Amino acid sequence: MSATNNNSLIIAKFGGTSVADYDAMNRSADVVLSNPAVRVVVLSASAGVTNLLVALAEGCNAEQRADSLANIRRIQYAIIDRLDSAAVIREEIDRMLENITTLSEAAALATSPALTDELVSHGELMSTLLFVEILRQRAIAAEWFDVRKIMRTDDRFGRAEPDCAALNELTQSLLQPRLAQSLIITQGFIGSEAKGRTTTLGRGGSDYTAALLGEALNASRIDIWTDVPGIYTTDPRVAPAAKRIDQITFEEAAEMATFGAKVLHPATILPAVRSDIPVFVGSSKDPAAGGTLVCNQTDNPPLFRALALRRRQTLLTLHSLNMLHARGFLAEVFNTLARHNISVDLITTSEVNVALTLDTTGSTSTNGSLLSSSLLTELSSLCRVQVEENLSLVALIGNELSQACGVGKEVFGVLEPFNIRLICYGASSHNLCFLVPGEDAERVVRTLHGSLFE
């Protein structure tokens, strides 16, 4: 197979729940084998394993360590115990578990980002070894491939960036020639830097791996198998009548992800967007249910595509009479926020007030509050500050929204019973956003979904 001749090549990626146990792995194997075009399979660690490894990497006491190690062993052994001839794979997994033990003892003495990546990578190494064994039991020619040989990254441990030129070159020389002989099973999320130390690509990294390999191999499609059969008009748990979207553009999917929908993260599928490779999202539990195809363009994109909900939003209202005809007030506010590493999400202004929401996406702090007392003190010297918490952001995702007539009436007409705290509309033709009290959020989404999509 030459580099240009991969037009029917598909990369299939399976998330943690799809390789959680023996039965899940077999369902995923069925999905892989049902389509001869699938030649490369990218796996996450078995569900729960990465969290246990992260806990070990943070350096815990002997009791917690023994507990986490026992849990990892239990998850992997539940799969091994159901394999036919398991002697060889048992040895390999035992060796991995020994490594994990040694590394976790080192972490208990001193933690480091490099050590964390080395430890965490074992989740994917183990799930791929076990999956190869499951395929071999079915007499399938499957080969385990260490993705670290080709996924060259920088050394920002925990959030490493791939070197695409090196990746493409190494993929062509080391991975491409193997595709004709066997099915390749490899790891998502992990890579290695110039000195050969293991790195990780950050959370959501397995989708990113699949997209990068798809680009390097010039694949015809990337299939992302998770526990949901595609992308819906809104979260079905909020509005049970939500419908699956059969085809959606990358741009719309990115908007949905930005506004809190648990769909593909836009950064992770960037290589697919760049190279115009469609991405399919389906459920490995129920592959027959179909899914959603994400691609660069769709036929007749609708005015309204989906609703996304982002909870726990904070609204800052800044009031200053000095603002009336003053230049530079907003610049000073933004400078202050930037110094505190805060980016602004939505903003509306009046003659003497500015209302803005803070972007909490991507922040790891669990409490979600970005407002330190030093920030509030600094802002208070500029203006009067009012803080409102527990708001929710509802985003209506669509196409050419800012050019359409009657959108306001269609959206806000049905929301008459609700208090709407802030509206952002017109900056993007792909979204209309507004803030509502947190306790009303789900009712607002259901009401709007009912009138626009049902």
- The pLDDT tens digits of the residues spanning 5-58 come to 456 899 999 999 999 999 999 999 999 999 999 999 999 999 999 999 999 999
Q: What is the pLDDT of residue 7?
A: 65
End-to-end CA distance of the chain: 48
Distance CA 118, CA 99 (A): 10
Residue 13 marked ligand-binding = yes
> What pTM was estimated for this model as a whole?
0.84
Q: Judging by beta carbons within 10 Å of its beta carbon (0-12, 13-18, 19+), is residue 350 exposed, middle or buried?
A: exposed
Count CB atoms within 10 A of the CB of residue 169.
14
Helices (H) and strands (E) in the chain, counts: 14, 16
Residue 232 marked ligand-binding = yes
Residue 124 marked ligand-binding = yes
Q: How many CA atoms lie within 13 A of 49 on its CB side?
A: 30
pLDDT averaged per 10 residues in sequence order, the chain, 454 residues = 60 96 97 96 97 93 94 97 92 97 95 95 98 96 98 95 96 96 96 97 87 96 92 92 93 85 78 93 92 92 94 90 72 89 86 83 48 88 90 94 91 94 89 95 96 93
Q: What is the pLDDT of residue 202?
A: 76
Q: How many residues belong to the chain?
A: 454
Q: What is the pLDDT of residue 361?
A: 54
Residue 226 marked ligand-binding = yes
Residue 398 marked ligand-binding = no
Quickly list DSSP for 175-207: IGGGTTTSEEEEESSEEE-TTS-EEE--TTHHH
Same fold, 10-226 and 305-453: no
Q: Judging by beta carbons within 10 Å of its beta carbon (0-12, 13-18, 19+), is residue 84 exposed, middle or buried?
A: exposed
Contacts for 78 with CB less than 8 Å, ≥ 6 apart: 21, 22
CB 195 within 8 A of CB 53: no
pLDDT, one tens digit per residue, over 98-121 is 999 999 999 999 999 999 999 999
CATH architecture of 305-453: 2-Layer Sandwich (3.30)
Residue 50 marked ligand-binding = yes
Residue 22 marked ligand-binding = no
What ranges do the domains of the chain cover? 10-226, 305-453
CB 351 within 8 A of CB 324: yes
Distance CA 113, CA 266 (A): 25
Residue 317 marked ligand-binding = no
CATH architecture of 10-226: 3-Layer(aba) Sandwich (3.40)
